[in-house]
Structure 1
């Protein structure tokens, strides 16, 4: 039997488990247009995915004045919610998570989403009870600050060397570095594989099947 290397595996949500990258980027672009800002490119809008909402929007729309940030966030939520019912888990995610639980891993979510947004997503994809804990950007420090992972480790009694962070952005991988934890990047989400590789993860997966196979033999 393979010896388990990591006790806790923490996943980012959007672009890692949930196929929502395009919807988020498009919602950012539409929101910026609604408040009169310069619409970011696809690359610029995708770059901020994973960050807390207001810092993400501010980064994607630097010419939008601060007094319009609340309107910008409101318009983003409006456009995203219009698409939410069409967004699903990536194919293969459920069997992967079930396999990890069968091996005795604790599972957690560390996401830039709000608590309300994550809870709604968990209801939509019928994942209640799959995760042992979670942290969202509105209840702790946003990525790449390590507090999200530090709180999960403290709650579950896990040391940094026994936690693996999996995410699709450099923000995720930098958060893991800042917390003293290992990471794996997934190149099917918001950031390109070369960007992820620069953060020295243990592996960069090209798809969910690749990620699942790596976890079977290395986690």
Structure 2
């Protein structure tokens, strides 16, 4: 039987389990399709993320004439509002969660999302019953305040050294540090992993597969 090093594993949501980038890519593609342009590839649509909206759309859809830009922007906003709550998990997340669950870990979400936003996401049939608890920024203190983790520790009766926080931002890792909990960073989300070093994570995973392997060996 596997000996657990951590009883409770808490995950950030956006950028750690949930791939927000894919929603933006899909919405750009749908908007271009709506106005009759050549639909950009995933790579081309992803490249423009971070630019101003109209600059991004113009770059992603070079064959759409400027007079259609207002319509293009409106269609992008429509699709984004329609799909912003879609469940788009990083590939490999469900097997990872299933493996941890099978080994007897308690699983939680500690997120900056609202309770409504997280609950809508967790309505997915694939995620029902996976998480044992969750905390959101609008119902307790936001990151990097340690209150989310303190509340989870109290709920499960788990000391700090038996809780592992996993996240893609310095806010996640600082929260863990503030709560005296170990942490693991992931480099495929929002923040550059070079910024993690000062926050002393146990590991920085560069893919969900690497995170999965590390957790099976160390959690």
TM-score by length of 2: 0.72
1:135 is aligned to: 135
1:91 is aligned to: 91
2:116 corresponds to 1:116: yes
Contact 1:88 1:125 in 2 (8 A): no
Indicate the SS of the match to 1:42.
coil
Indicate the SS of the match to 2:122.
helix
Give how far 1:198 is off. 2.9
Shift of the 23–174 alpha-carbon distance from structure 1 to 2, 3 Å rule, reads farther
Shift of the 117–85 alpha-carbon distance from structure 1 to 2, 3 Å rule, reads closer
1:13 is aligned to: 13
Indicate the SS of the match to 2:110.
strand
Shift of the 107–87 alpha-carbon distance from structure 1 to 2, 3 Å rule, reads closer
Matches for 1:11-160 after TM superposition, within 5 Å: 11-21=11-21, 42=50, 81-84=81-84, 88-124=88-124, 126-160=126-160
Deviations 1:127-157 (A, max 9, x none): 1110000000000000000000000000111
Indicate the SS of the match to 2:127.
coil
Give how far 1:2 is off. 3.6
Deviations 1:3-26 (A, max 9, x none): 2100000000000000015758xx
**Larger-Rg structure:** 2
Shift of the 128–112 alpha-carbon distance from structure 1 to 2, 3 Å rule, reads same
Indicate the SS of the match to 2:91.
coil
Q: How many residues align?
A: 171
Contact 1:185 1:201 in 2 (8 A): yes
Give how far 1:123 is off. 1.4
2:218 corresponds to 1:210: no
Give how far 1:110 is off. 0.1
Unaligned runs of 5+ in 2: 28-48, 52-76
2:161 corresponds to 1:161: yes
Indicate the SS of the match to 1:154.
helix
Give how far 1:97 is off. 0.4
Deviations 1:54-76 (A, max 9, x none): xxxxxxxxxxxxxxxxxxxxxxx
2:198 is aligned to: 198
Unaligned runs of 5+ in 1: 28-40, 44-76
Indicate the SS of the match to 1:198.
helix
Give how far 1:200 is off. 1.1
User: What do you get for the CA RMSD once the two structures are aligned?
Assistant: 2.3
Shift of the 13–4 alpha-carbon distance from structure 1 to 2, 3 Å rule, reads same
